Structure formats: C-alpha cells, structure tokens
Structure 1
C-alpha cells in the first residue's frame, strides 16, 4: 500500500464510524485514486487536529481545512477538467472521520467534537465562501447541488449536480450586457440534516436578508415588516431522470423507499407518506407548493436534452396525476411532488415554502432535475453542466 493510503487507512478505520465514513475502507481498496487526490491535505489535518490546544482551536482548524478542501476541489476540477465531484466527497469523510475517531492533545467533549464536524461540513460545502459583488446591478444567483448518493449500489457514483455546483461557483455570466454572479453550496444526502433545518438555516439569510433574519429569530418566527432578499434567483439542482425536469409542484411528504447516505429510511411509503421535521418539529406547510422559475425562458436552453415543465405528482391514495395548477391539488394529500418523495423533492419544497413564508412573490425559486448518469460518466456530465449554464443564461434575461 502506498504511504498516503496507509496513512489514510490508519487514520480512518481505527474506531467505529458513521455508515458513510465506513465506506472509506472500500474506496481505499477499490478506488484508490479517489483517496490520493487530497491525501496530503488529510495528512496535514490529522497533524494539526492532534496538536490543537483547546476546543476553539480545534474548531478553527476544522473550519480552515474544510475551506482548503472546498477551494482545492474547485481548483482541481477546473485544472483537470475531469468533471469529477467524488474526491471532494470522500476527502470530506476522511476529515470528519479523523475528528470523530482521533483524540487531540486536550480533553475533548462530545459537544466540542460535534461543533468541529459541523464547522468542517459547512466550510467544505461552500457555505462559508459565498461572496457577491456589492453592486446590485450584477444579478445574484444562488445554486445548490448534492453529494453523490446510492453508494451502497455504486460506490463509484458521481452526481452531476455536485459537479455543476463546483464548476459554476464564483462564475460571472454575461448575457446581452446583463451580468450575474453564481454562488453555490453542496448539500448532504442525509435525512437527519434536513430534519435539523440545514436548508432553512442556509437559505434564510440569503432570502430574507440579515436584518430580517435577526428580527425573525428574536421574535420566534414572526415575520418582520421588511424583507431584504440578497439574491435574485435560487436554483436547487439534483440528479434525476432521462431528461431535464423543472419541478413545478414540490410536495410536503417523504415516501421514497431509497435510503440516504447513512442508510436511513425516509420513514414513509406510497401508501403512508410522512411529514419531515424542521428543528425537531413537524414541518408545517401546504401539501403542495408551486415554484417560480422562468420556465419558458429556461426551456429554450440549447443542449442534447429536453427541458421539461414537469407537472406530474402523486397523491393519496397512490394516484399519479398531471396538475393544471395548485387549485387542482387543493385538498389532496401529497405522496410525491414533481421531484419524487426523496430529498431532491424536499429541498425544492423547503426552498419554495420558505420563499412563500417570507412573502417574496417576485423571487424566482425552484428545482432542476438533471438527467441521471451511471456511476461516473464525465462526457455526459459535461453535457449536463453546459446545459444547466445555458438555462441560467436564459433565466438571467428575465430577472
């Protein structure tokens, strides 16, 4: 075994880990190239983590290395042009595994460890790196992608939405003299993170503005008299079906049989869909919401795939229907939104619900489902990312 792999193996597999982290052992054996991409950063982090003097320094180190990983993954993707998001995913798990299983030089409480992991997660997902130009004439697009998933079936699975996010982060788009800057974040495929409010906690400052957020939190959820959206469009992206689907009607409930990356089930089914949580309480909202992306413009985007305005949903009792409007869905119980009953649908529902709750009737918010890929298909992923960019260019003209 090469020295970098031996070090990673020693650091990563000493103790019991999460289901995600435990897969690192298979990756080291079957897909070693995915480990070597950031082996040096992993080694340096293990050293600095072990030599942290207190909990504050440990968290600072975790956040710093998360940022290094994010920036390094972006640079690597642009330099190599391989359309591969997997090294970022597996390196992040190697770092969280070190935090979870290796003791620093001082007594570390479990709460401190949790804080350090959260800091690393946030910074390594681009959430700390969002920087817009203060000139509001430059439009602001906030885009999210997802980690690879279905790893229990395909350990080498990539996710075009994560690749798209990495490639577009910080990019400035110019269309007919109109300028827009794209900033991104990549979300985990884990039900628990969504239940804990990760989507709302991330999006609220950008949708409502920091002043409104502070007032809202202080008033225990009461909406202030002003809302200052800091972005001009919010686009969530995930891997989906055969073509591009713009998911018009996200649904409230979970019903997918598929497990998440921690092997957790949704808890629901087509015959008994369940309501997810928000900060430990049932998520409160209508059964269906409607997105507000500029559909007609985005459907003109050139590329090898059709861009569909998907109106199909599933309602109780397990009935599929094409909705002609929200009125047609009134009084019905959601089984699946346009994006299904998994986390792709859920990030779409939560973002549109938040938009509605904040009263941002003019803010375009919605979800793009990309064509799916089998494991790792860089050529197909390249086509997908280019067409997403064309959709954004088309949307800019309407903002």
Structure 2
C-alpha cells in the first residue's frame, strides 16, 4: 500500500513537471501554482482520483461524452469534499480548490481532439458544477430557506498554503438544516472564484438572479475572509480601489486615489455609489462564539475620507473609495448582490459577512469561525 501511494504521488509530480504537448492549451496562473502547491503539501490533490479521471478522459470520444464526464467529475468532487468536511475527516476547503485546478490542468495538457472553444465550454461545465452551482436545490420542507456564498483561497503567491474560512463555511453548511426555537431553515451554498474577469462577465448576477426571482429564499448572505472579528458590512461601495491582485494576478486597475467602476457584460456597472444591506443585524449579533459580531459602518469616500454614516442618505454625492467590505471582491460581491436585489424589486434580506482572518491554515480557528457563522444564521431565522 505504501509503495502504491508513493507511486501515485510520484506520478502526480511527473505530471506537474512534464513538458506540455504541442497541441496543449496554456495553463492559467492559478494552474501554474500547482507545482509550488505540490511542494508545500502533495495531499491537497488526490493523486488517485486524478489518475482515475485521466484514464476516463482518454476514453472520451466526443463532446457530449466529455461534457457528461466533466459534469459527473465536478459533482463527485463537490460531494466528496463536502462529505470530508461534514464528517470532519478533513475540515479543509483547500482540497476542493487544488483538485479542481489539477483536473483543469490535465484537460488542457491533454485536449484530445477538441478545439479551444470547445475546451473552454467543457472547463466551464466542470468549474461551475464543482463550485456547487448545479446543486442549488432546497430538498426539505423547512419554514425558511437561506443562500450563502463563500470564496476560494486567495493571495496564494504570498502564502501557498492559505485557506479561506468563507469557502469552508459554504462547504460545511451546504444542504444543512438549522433550527432555532422550533423554526427550521435549510441552507444552500456555493463557492465563487477570486477573479475580476468572472465578476465583470456577470457571474454573480447570473448566479443570484434565479435565487431572487425564485421567490422562495428568505435570506442571502455573501461571505468572505476579512479582519480581526466578524463584520456585517452595512454600506458596500461601487468601486475597486485595492492594488492587491486576484488569483490570476490581474490588478483591479483602481487605487485609493483613483478608484474605478467594474464592468457588467462589457458595460460600466450602473448604480449608486453606495448601497445598504438588509441583514437582521441585531439578531445576528446575538450569536455566541469566540468573536465579536460588528455592525460595520465604516466607508471611505474621495471627498471626505473615512466616514461612519448612520444612514445611507448621508453618503449622497460622495464617490466611493471603499465600502464597508473594502475595495476588493469581498466588497464587490456584496455591492452586486444588493444592487441586483434592488433592481429586481425583491425584499429578501441581503448582505455580507466578513469573517476573522486566518494565516495559512488553522483547523481550530476555522471550526470556531464556521460554528459562529452557523449561529448567526440561526439567530437570523426568527428575524426574517
């Protein structure tokens, strides 16, 4: 058994270091990090599962078969990691992220007879399914329904071992039924990428529009990793202002001195400079745990610098530098979700939870964070 495991790890190392075929597709910046990741912790990619997929991929004969295989593999990966997390056999979001990238990299290195356009479509199928996008289904007859999103690990060039408790919360809570005072709620969750391009292409709007229009969900909360304690971000801002790159090492293009507005399907994103969340903040602050739950009012504007408005109207005429969630994608997913909710005219309470920040991977801290998010959502049930 030891020799077999050693062989699998060796095979993975050879795969990651091998020269690409002449007909292969260039690996993305995210996929190129697999080599460094393998040096850090080879167990974050399941070599056996990768090898099994590689064998099945070689048997593919046409586009339809390829699409079915990738849908099946994406479903298997999402389900397998959820099972590991829920059973606490491995309470870790990183295997989902790195296994997804390893499979995508293999497909690009072995494109078979597919064109780049076909491969892009196939990879999109796998990407979406492995993020839980195809698994949004409320299966239980509960009084309330909750939808949350988490994020991939990010800033990996600074720390290749980084985990993201927001993604872990999504994995852990997806499909879970929670209860407070006899009232039950089912949670559905997905994990979104840390990539400006996906946001500009409307991924958040495409994901959330059916949630709002379905008319059954009672609360939407986006979640990301943030500061020292939990922050409920009251006033998300419209603009990008950080110099931090996304996971493809693409810069936002904005700065604190010259924040920029993002795109939506090729057009400049419309909407007010600031929006306001509608989470049941008072109820959520009752959640017991290791951390404070802060109603964060802080924003930064070009005209007046840092402010702590009590009312959205106090920000009229101001230009957003950063909202409560900052000037990165954490703030932007909150802004886009609330903007969409307002546009569609729904009354679904919507807002953003910023979790405490962790360094690299911290199992006990991750558990404490996820448990307190669950407690916040339980407290929210009675107020929505």
- Structure 2 equivalent of residue 173 of structure 1: 178
State which of 77, 84, 105 in structure 2 corresponds to 1:76. 84
Partners of 2:209 and 2:56 in 1: CA distance: 33
Q: CA deviation at 1:81?
A: 4.3
Deviation for aligned residue 1:134: 6.6
Q: Is the 8 A contact 1:99 1:116 kept in 2?
A: no
Equivalent in the alignment of 1:152: 157
Q: Aligned residue for 1:34?
A: 44
Helix, strand or coil at the partner of 1:262: coil
Residues 5-61 of structure 1 show CA distances to partners (whole Å, capped at 9, x for unaligned) of: 2332344444341111011011112211212xx222211211222221111211221
Q: What's the TM-score, normalizing by structure 2?
A: 0.94
1:1-399 equivalence runs, <5 A: 2-13=6-17, 14-15=19-20, 16-35=26-45, 38-104=46-112, 107-133=113-139, 135=141, 137-209=142-214, 229-317=215-303, 319-360=305-346, 362-399=347-384
Alpha-carbon deviation of 1:82? 4.0
Partner SS, residue 128 of structure 1: helix
Is the Cα–Cα contact under 8 Å of residues 40 and 161 in structure 2 kept in the other structure? no
Q: Describe the SS at the equivalent of 1:132.
A: coil
- d(CA) in 2 for partners of 1:169, 1:134: 13
Give 1:212's aligned residue.
Answer: none
Contact 1:236/1:368 (8 A) holds in 2: yes
The answer on whether the counterparts of 2:241 and 2:259 sit within 8 Å (CA) in structure 1 is: yes
In the TM superposition, structure 1's runs of 4+ consecutive aligned residues that sit over 6 Å from their partners are none
Q: Within 2, Cα distance between the matches of 1:44 and 1:141?
A: 36
Q: Return 2-11 or 89-98, whichever deviates more.
A: 2-11
After TM superposition, give the deviation of residue 317 of structure 1 in Å. Answer: 4.2
Q: In structure 1, how many angstroms separate the alpha carbons of the residues matched to 2:66 and 2:266?
A: 28
**Count of residue pairs brought into register by the alignment:** 374
Where in structure 2 are there 5+ consecutive unaligned residues? 21-25
Given that residues 145 and 217 in structure 2 are in contact (C-alpha distance below 8 angstroms), is that contact kept between their aligned partners in structure 1? yes
Q: 1:81 to 1:372 in 2, by over 3 A?
A: farther
Give yes or no for contact 1:300–1:394 (8 Å, CA) kept in 2.
Answer: yes
| Conserved 8 A contact 1:146-1:187 | yes
Distance 1:200 1:306 in 2: 31
Aligned pair in 2 of structure 1 residues 54, 82: CA closer, same or farther (>3 Å)?
Answer: closer
Cα distance in structure 2, aligned partners of 1:168 and 1:243: 20
- Residue by residue over 1:282-341, the C-alpha shift from the partner in whole angstroms, topping out at 9 and shown as x without a partner, is 111111000000000000100111100001001114711111211110111111010000
> After the TM superposition, which of the residue ranges 73-82 and 286-295 deviates more from structure 2?
73-82
For the 8 Å contact 1:146–1:189, the answer to whether it is kept is: yes
TM-score normalized with structure 1 length: 0.91
**How far apart are 1:138 and its partner, in Å?**
2.7
Matched residue SS, 1:270: coil
Asked if 1 retains the 8 angstrom alpha-carbon contact of 2:167 and 2:191, the reply is: yes
Contact 1:50 1:103 in 2 (8 A): no
Kept in 1, the 8 Å contact 2:29–2:249? The answer is yes
- Given that residues 140 and 186 in structure 2 are in contact (C-alpha distance below 8 angstroms), is that contact kept between their aligned partners in structure 1? no
Given that residues 12 and 101 in structure 1 are in contact (C-alpha distance below 8 angstroms), is that contact kept between their aligned partners in structure 2? no
Q: Deviation string for 1:351-376 (max 9, x for gaps)?
A: 0000000111x210000000000111
Find the aligned partners of 1:315 and 1:199 in 2 and give their Cα distance. 25
